[in-house]
Chains A and B, each alone.
Chain A
Amino acid sequence: MNNRCWNTTIVIKGIAEWIIAGLISLLISSFFVLIYNYSGTHIINLSGATDYKWVAGQYKAQWAEGINYMHMDENGFNNLSSDDENVDILLMGGSHMEAIQFPTEYNAGSLLNEYLPDYRTYNIGMSGHQLINCLDNLEAAVVEYSPNGYVVIETDNIDISEEDLVCVRDGLVPHIPSYDSGLLYQLQRVPALKVVYKQLTDKLSIDRLMRMSDKTDVDTDGISSSRIEVLKEVLNQKAAVCSDNNIRLVLCYMPHIYVGEDGKLERDDDAEWTETVRNAADEYGIIMIDCFEAAKTEYENTYALPYGFNNSTMGSGHLNMVGHEIVAREIAKAIEEDKG
C-alpha cells in the first residue's frame, strides 16, 4: 500500500466513510444482538409494585446465560398468562424470578400454578430488584394486585446492611431509574448500542476492581443490636402491611451455594445473620422458607445445582430450572402447611 497524500478532501472523505461504516456496523451488530443477547426497553411502573417493568410483550433473546427466546406478557412481566386479576399468590423478586434464562413454563411462577392449581399465582419478578427494593415496593404491590392469600418475596441474599434497612424502614430506598423518553430512551432501543454500553461500563468497573483487589479491605456489616432492631422494625412494618390486607408474607430464601472439596454442597452466607432473620420473621408471623436443604437433597440425588447454566458458570449466577423447581416446591409446601 502507498502512503496517501494528506489533503483535506481525502481526510474528510475518509472520516465520512468511517462514520458511515460505523453506522452500518451498528445495524449489522444490532441484528446479531437480537439473536444473541437482547433485553429490550424498560419503562417506569407507575403502580410502584416494581420500580420499572418491560414494555408489553417485550421480545427477549438470551445466549449469555442460559439459552432462551421469549416475550414478556402484556403487563411486562414473565408469566404464561397476562391475567393479573384475582391473584392469590403474588410472587416478587429480582432477576432470579424474572427468569429470562429459560422458557416461561419452567419458572417458579408457572410451576406454582401447576403445583397449587387452586391458587392463581402471578409473578412480578424484575431484574435489578434486590430484597430492599421488593420490601420497599411491597405496599404498592399489595394495593395494585390485592392478592387473596400470599405475597412471596424470593431472594438469594438476606444480608442487608443496617443502612439499607433504615432506608427501607423510612421509605428512602432509591428507585431504580428508567428512561421512558428522551435521548437515552431512544439509544437503549438500539440493541447493539445498549449491549456495547453495558459491556464497556462493566469492563471499566472490573478493571478498576482488579487494580484495587489487593488494596481493598472487605467491609462487612457485623450483627449489632441496632441492626437487629431495625430489621425487626422493617419486618414488623411489612408484616403489618400484609396482615392489614389479610395476606401472609412469605420470605423465600435460596442462599448462594458452593461445592466443597469433599463434594458436599455448602451454603455461602452468614449463618448467624440468617438465624437472626429467621427468628425475627417468626416473631412477626412471616413465613420464612430456607431452600438450602432442599437444594442439598437434590444435589445428593442428581448432582444438579440450583444456580448456573451450561453456557455460564455452573453453581453461580442466576437460578436455573432446577433452582426454580426447588423454590416452587418449597413455596407450595409452605403454603399447603399454612393452610393446614
Chain B
Amino acid sequence: MSFQTIPFFAFLIVLIFVLAVTKNEKIRQIELLLASFLFYGIWDWRFLGLLFLCIGITHISGRILSNSKNGEESQKTVLSISIVLLLIILGIFKYLKFFVSGLCNVLGLHDSFTLNFVLPIGISFYIFTCVGYLIDIYRGELTGPISLYQEALYIAFFPKILQGPFQKASDFFKQLKEKHPITIDNISSGIQIFLFGLIKKLVIADRLGLFVDNVYMNPSVYSGATLLLAALTYPMQLYCDFSGYSDMAVGVARMIGYELPQNFNIPFLSKNVAEYWRRWHMSLNIWFRDYLFYSLIRSNWVNDLRKKAKGRSKKFAKMLAPLIGMIIVWPLVGLWHGASWNYILYGCLYGLLMIVGLIGDTYGNKKNSKMDILRIIRTWIVTLFALIIFRAQDISTIGIILKGIFTWQRGISYIYTWSLIFVPVVMLICIFAYEKNSGEGFYIQLDLGLFRNKVIFCTVSMLTIILMYVGENYFMYFQF
C-alpha cells in the first residue's frame, strides 16, 4: 500500500477518524502503532516478522544499555553485539548474494548455490533507525523511561518506515510526550504538503521515469542526443520521486499531528558537492555523519594519527581526521543504496570529490562569490555524471551511455517532450524558491479558510488527477 494509491487514502481517512475520536494520548499512540504494523504488513505479511525481530533486538539491547553505567566495557559490548546482529540481518537480505557472487568470481567458483532472498521493503531505513537509536542511548542522549510500544512506534512509524526521512530518536520521543489531537489546521497544512509531494511523484517523476527507464534499459540503441537528454532527466526524476515521497511523509505525519524532518533542500543549486549532500537526502547524510563519521574522527586511533601528523604539517593534521572519515564513509554511503558495484562506485566518486573539496578548502584561497554561478553549473555536471553511474544497471552500461553521448552515436531518436518541459520548469521553481527564501526551501501554505484558496486547492487537485501518469509507479527508493 503506497502513499499514492487509492487504498492508502481510505486507510488514512479511517485512521484520522479513529485518532480524532480517541481522547487518551497513550491509546492514540497504540492505535498509531497498530496502524503502522497494518500499513507495513499489507506489503507482505512475512516482512512483519522481520520488523518485530528488529524491534525486539533493539528493545532488549536498549534496556541493557539504559541500565548499565556509562563508559562500562559491558555497555560497549552490548552495543557492538546488537549493531552486528542488526547489520547481519540487513546483510543477509540485501548483500549476501552480492558478496557471495563477488567471492565466487574471485575464487573462480560457481555461485548458483546462493540463496535469493526477497528484499523486505524499507529494511535499510528501519534497521538504520534501530542502530541510530541504540547509539543515542549509548551516548546518553536519550534519558527517561521509554516503553516498548513507544520504541516500536519510533521504528515502525508508517509515514517514514519505507523511505525515511531518518529522524533522531530524541526528536520523536519529545513529540510522544506531547498531545497530538487531530486539528483542522494540521489536516489543512498536511494535506497541502501531501498534495505537493503527490504532484512531484505522479505528475513529474513517473512521467519522466517512463522515458529514463526505457533508455537505460537498452542504451546502445538510442541516439547520443537521446542519451544526453535521459542523463539530464534522471536527476530530476529521482529528485521529484524521492523528495515527493518525503513531502508526502511529512504531510501525512502533520495530518496526524507529528513533525518529520526535512529531507531535501533545493539541492540542484549547490555550489559544491559538500553543500549538495547537505541538501540532498539530508537525513541520510546526517545519519552517516552523526553515527559513523563523527565516531571515526573522534576515535582514539584517528587522534593518535592526527597528533603524529601535526609534527609534519599543521594544515595536513587538521584535515587528516575528516579525510579518513570520508575515505571510509563514502563507499559505505554508496553501498547503503544497493548491492551493486555501480552504487559503490557512486559513493567512491563522491568521496573523492569531497576529499578534493576538503584539500581545496585547506590549502586553497578564499572563494570569489562572483564565481558562484559557475560553481553551481560545475556541481550540476558532477551530479549528472554521478547519477549516470547511480542509475546504470551495471558498470558496462555506464560505459555504453558515456560513449554514446561523447561519440553522439546514431540510433533511435526519442526527444522526450516532458523532459523538455519539466526539467527547466522545476529548475526555475527551485531558483525562485532559493531567491525568495535565502537559499532555504519552504512549503507554500494556503489558508484554506479563504474561498479563493479553496478554489486553488480544488483546481490543483483536479489537475493533478488529470495530469498524473497512470501506469506502474513504485517509489524509486523502495529498492534501497
Contacts and interface: CB of A to CB of B under 8 A. Distances in A.
Contact of B463 (A32, A202, A305): A32
A202 B412 contact: no
Contacts of A127: none
Contact of B412 (A18, A196, A207, A259): A259
Contacts of A21: 451, 454-455, 457-458
Interface in A28-51: 28-29, 32-33, 36-37
A338 interface: no
Q: Give the interface centre of B188, B414, B466, B467 by most chain A CB atoms within 10 Å.
A: B466
Given A303-B223, A312-B210, A315-B412, A29 B455 contact: no
B5 A314 contact: no
B102 interface: no
A22 interface: yes
A188 to B, nearest CB: 15
A17 B412 CA distance: 51
Interface string B411-453: 1111111100000000000000000000000000001010100
A28 B459 contact: yes
Interface residues on B, range: 35 or more
B299 interface: no
B262 to A, nearest CB: 21
Interface residues of A, number: 41
Contacts of A311: 416-418
B70 interface: no
Contact of A196 (B6, B410, B462): B462
A70 interface: no
Contacts of B185: 1, 3
Interface in A277-330: 303-305, 310-315
B49 interface: no
Contacts of A313: 210-211, 214
Nearest to B471: A206
B179 to A, nearest CB: 14
A222 interface: no
B423 to A, nearest CB: 14
B140 interface: no
A116 interface: no
Interface string A2-13: 011000000000
A304 to B, nearest CB: 8
A30 B474 CA distance: 29
A24 B183 CA distance: 27
Nearest to A258: B218
Contacts of A37: 466
Interface string B188-225: 10000000000000000000001100100010110100
A303 B454 contact: no
A263 interface: yes
Contact of B413 (A207, A259, A303, A312): A303
Contacts of A305: 412
A195 interface: yes
B7 interface: yes
A200 B466 contact: no
A240 interface: no
B7 A207 contact: yes
A204 interface: yes
A157 interface: no
B383 interface: no
Contact of B466 (A24, A36, A210, A259): A36
Contact of B462 (A17, A25, A314): A25
Given A21-B454, A24-B458, A206-B470, A263 B418 contact: no
Interface string A187-205: 0000010011001101110
A26 B416 contact: no
A314 B461 contact: no
Given A310-B414, A312-B210, A26 B449 contact: no
B470 to A, nearest CB: 4
B465 interface: yes
Contacts of A304: 412-413
A25, A32, A196, A202: most-surrounded residue (chain B CB, <10 A) = A25
Nearest to B473: A206
A25 B461 contact: yes
A195 B218 contact: no
Contacts of A18: 454, 458
A261 interface: yes
B455 A33 contact: no
B6 A204 contact: yes
B371 interface: no
Nearest to A197: B465
8 contacts: A21-B455, A25-B455, A29-B459, A195-B466, A199-B470, A310-B416, A311-B418, A312-B210
Given A1-B188, A199-B468, 6 more contacts: A1-B185, A36-B466, A37-B466, A261-B218, A310-B416, A313-B214
Interface of B: 5-7, 183-185, 188, 210-211, 214, 218, 220-221, 223, 410-418, 447, 449, 451, 454-455, 457-459, 461-463, 465-468, 470-472, 474
Interface of A: 1, 3-4, 17-18, 20-22, 24-26, 28-29, 32-33, 36-37, 67, 192, 195-196, 199-200, 202-204, 206-207, 210, 259, 261, 263, 303-305, 310-315
Q: Which 10 pairs across A and B sit closest by C-beta, in order of nearness?
A: A25-B458, A21-B454, A311-B417, A25-B459, A314-B414, A29-B462, A202-B470, A21-B455, A21-B458, A259-B221
